[in-house]
Amino acid sequence: MTHALAVDIGGTKIAAALVDPRGAVSHRRTRPTPRTDDPEEVFRTVARLAAREGRAVATAAFDRAARALAGGMLSAAAAVDLDLVVVGGGVARSGDVLFTPLRTWFERLAGLDFLRRVRLRPSALGGDAGLVGAAALTRRPATAGRTARR
């Protein structure tokens, strides 16, 4: 085992540190806990605290997540011939912490010409994308998108 990334989310501060296999704490950082009811804002603070400090454990975790996301997105793009992939929800607001490695993996994994043309964008709706999509579905007629049986 190498180092572990430990995160403590408190009422006034968020602390992150690397802990070695013997339990010794190194590279400790803190930030004020955001004053918000939005859990996504707390997530973004944790993500930035961990990844922007440039620590290997956090950076590697975001890189693994970005590789998995890029692989899944490109598989879907290949299966249904997409031109654009839009990332919505709270993760879309993580900014460069996620989008830099995501774009890197997108480029590395896009082996076919038509996949290299697929564009990747964060949703303009950010964390509200799922809510807006759900509301839009309630406004569709019940038969929309269904095919008639013959």
User: Which residues in the chain come in under a pLDDT of 70?
Assistant: 1, 51-58, 142-150
Q: How far is CA 117 from the centre of its chain?
A: 21
103 by DSSP, 3-state: which?
Answer: helix
Residue 56's pLDDT is: 65
Query: What is the CATH topology of the domain spanning 4-138?
Result: Nucleotidyltransferase; domain 5 (3.30.420)
Q: CA–CA separation, 15 vs 28, rounded Å?
A: 7
The structure tokens listed for 118 are 């697929």
Q: Identify the pLDDT of residue 140.
A: 74
The encoded tokens of residue 16 equal 């992150």
Q: What is residue 150's predicted lDDT score, i.e. its pLDDT?
A: 47
Report the alpha-carbon distance of residue 70 to residue 101 in Å, rounded. Answer: 9
Residue/partner pairs of 121-124 with CB below 8 Å, 24 or more apart: 121/84, 121/85, 121/86, 121/87, 122/86, 122/87, 122/88, 122/92, 122/93, 123/86, 123/87, 123/88, 123/89, 123/92
Query: What is the rounded CA–CA span in Å between residue 110 and residue 77?
Result: 10
Name which of 88, 91, 118 is nearest 103 in CA terms.
118
The pLDDT of residue 143: 58
Indicate the burial class of 102 (C-beta count within 10 angstroms; 0-12, 13-18, 19 or more).
Answer: buried
Kind of pairing between the strands at 25-32 and 13-19: antiparallel
Q: What is the pLDDT of residue 1?
A: 53
